[in-house]
Amino acid sequence: MKVKKIGLIGGRGYVGQEILKLLANHKYLKVTSAFSSSKIGHVVNNEYDKNLIYKEIAIDKINLVDEDAYILALQNNESHQYVDLILRHNSNAIIIDISSDHRFDNEWDYRVPELSSSQRSLRISNPGCYATAMQLMLEPIKELLEEPVHFFGISGYSGAGASPNKRNNLKTLKDNILPYSLVSHLHEQEVKVNSYPKVLFTPHVGNFFRGMLITGNFEISKDLDIKKIENLFINFFKNKPLIFIEKEVPNLQMVQNTSKVIIGGFDSDKAINRLTFCCALDNLLKGAATQVVQNLNSSFGWEDNIGIIQ
């Protein structure tokens, strides 16, 4: 396979750095341009490529060359102008947007790799981290569900981004947990549109850097058999090498700095047909950067997990 050239627009943030690390180990994808507002002229990553220098990202100064694909690693509400610029430069370029800007746009493909067929798409909107976990928890059982499902999530403060704010303020987080967006969180809307319409989700930020843990509570329409539920998940994800189904409850240390998803801890209250279990993943990797690489692979017509290390 021919090596494809990748442009990374917004490469300084946490997810951008993880993307660079993943692509450094990919045989067929190479970052040839990286753009930043605060690191112009600095070496992108000494371990990655000592000759790769951050370029100007300002929309009126950015200089695109001949990349095959572009990754938009920007904050929400910033990507549209760059999409227009890329399309004027090369209408056949693949664009992966990690922000929320195109997740509800029918002209873009919203793709959770383990829940989607392989497809060569020019425009892919990467799913949100919490939305990824919730959809992986829902998909094998959504035909069995009754009434709304409830998700409680807690993530590391890296999910609040690198720019200072109250959700990544270490003084505020000391010995603390911060609830936020108590209703209508954007990732809740993603799940309602793409998976199951009756979802109630409450996110929290904890005093740790990376990783997220989600607990789901579900009312099942049929008699509960935990072993059958476990087997349902095992069979559903049997050909998905990044998804692990376990009997025990997962914890963050099992997934931090990996591309794994661990779903487990299945338990029930048969008196009310209640099912509960948990999902853990690294918000910066499987919740973001890993899926960027999986979706790039798919867009080039390759197997999703080429270049991915668990």
Active site residues: 129
**Residue 202 near residue 152 (C-beta atoms within 8 A):** yes
φ, ψ of residue 99 in degrees (nearest 5)? -80, 180
Report how far apart the first and last C-alpha atoms of the chain are (Å, whole number): 22
Please return the burial class of 63, using the count of CB atoms within 10 Å of its CB with bins 0-12, 13-18 and 19+: exposed
- The vertex-242 CA angle with 192 and 27, nearest 5°, equals 115
Q: How far apart are alpha carbons 122 and 106 in whole angstroms?
A: 13
- Residue pointed to by tokens 């300084």: 12
DSSP string, 199-267: EEEEEEEESSSS-EEEEEEEEESS---HHHHHHHHHHHTTT-TTEEEESSPP-GGGTTTS--EEEEEEE
Beta strands 199-206 and 145-155, pairing class: parallel
Q: How far apart are alpha carbons 286 and 307 in whole angstroms?
A: 13
